[in-house]
């Protein structure tokens, strides 16, 4: 049950389930209009936590650049592996040597969670259609167009992490 869901947002942790805590997501979403945050503001902490975990999963479902950081590469004696894609080896530590999640990924997680709460079941249904490859859906005309490679992320979350998303490869035959 989601009410007992505990957010683990410790970078590089083997039990991590979110890129951002509820408190940090609240702070991030202060910079957005109520059109984006109204459902977030009305939701319970349990609903927000569940949305943050789902948003993290959706970010990790993208084809992302970077190599997961492997603690075994350090001189420390450890055999734990991080659960999530970030942090990545290419930007693993800040100036203090501490492991961190890029700010754009934290923002994208909060925005995607707010999007999930705002559109609820409609967002899930839309994401299922995208995953199935539906590009155009005209129920009144019983027509659907399919394409591969759709993203489940809202446009703002996708924009925020665009530097990490691997674009499709175009093949031309000549």
Q: CB neighbours of 60 closer than 8 A, spacing ≥ 6?
A: 84, 85
User: Is the model's pLDDT at 120 over the cut of 90?
Assistant: no
pLDDT of residue 1: 40
The percent of residues in the chain predicted with pLDDT above 70, rounded, is 68
Residue recorded with tokens 């925005």:
111
For residue 125, what is the enclosing H or E element? helix 103-132
**Residue 2 binned pLDDT confidence (cut-offs 50, 70, 90):** very low
Angle (nearest 5°) at CA 151 between 11 and 127:
100
Average per-residue pLDDT in the chain? 82
pLDDT tens digits, one per residue of 57-81: 999 999 898 888 765 555 554 556 8
The size of the chain, in residues, is 174
Residue 129 or 119, more confident: 119
Q: Does the pLDDT value for residue 133 go beyond 90? A: no
The residue ranking higher by pLDDT, 10 or 138, is 10
* Phi, psi values for residue 126, rounded to 5°: -65, -40
Give, rounded to a whole angstrom, the gap between the first and last alpha carbons of the chain: 55
Cα distance between residue 134 and residue 145, in whole Å:
6
Higher model confidence: residue 119 or residue 60? 60
């Amino acid at each position: 049950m989601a009410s007992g869901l505990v957010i683990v947002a410790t970078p590089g942790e083997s039990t991590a389930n979110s890129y951002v805590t509820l408190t940090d997501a609240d702070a991030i979403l202060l910079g957005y209009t109520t059109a984006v945050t109204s459902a977030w503001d009305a939701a319970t902490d349990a609903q927000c936590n569940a949305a943050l975990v789902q948003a993290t999963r959706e970010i990790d479902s993208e084809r992302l650049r970077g190599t997961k950081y492997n603690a075994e590469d350090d001189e420390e004696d450890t055999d734990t592996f991080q659960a999530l894609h970030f942090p990545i080896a290419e930007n693993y530590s800040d100036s203090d040597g501490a492991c961190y999640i890029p700010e754009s990924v934290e923002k994208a997680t909060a925005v995607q969670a707010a999007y999930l709460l705002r559109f609820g079941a409609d967002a899930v249904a839309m994401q299922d259609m995208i995953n199935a490859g539906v590009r155009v859906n005209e129920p009144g005309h019983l027509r659907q167009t399919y394409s591969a490679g759709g993203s489940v992320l809202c446009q703002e979350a996708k924009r925020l992490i665009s530097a990490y998303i691997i674009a499709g490869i175009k093949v031309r035959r000549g």
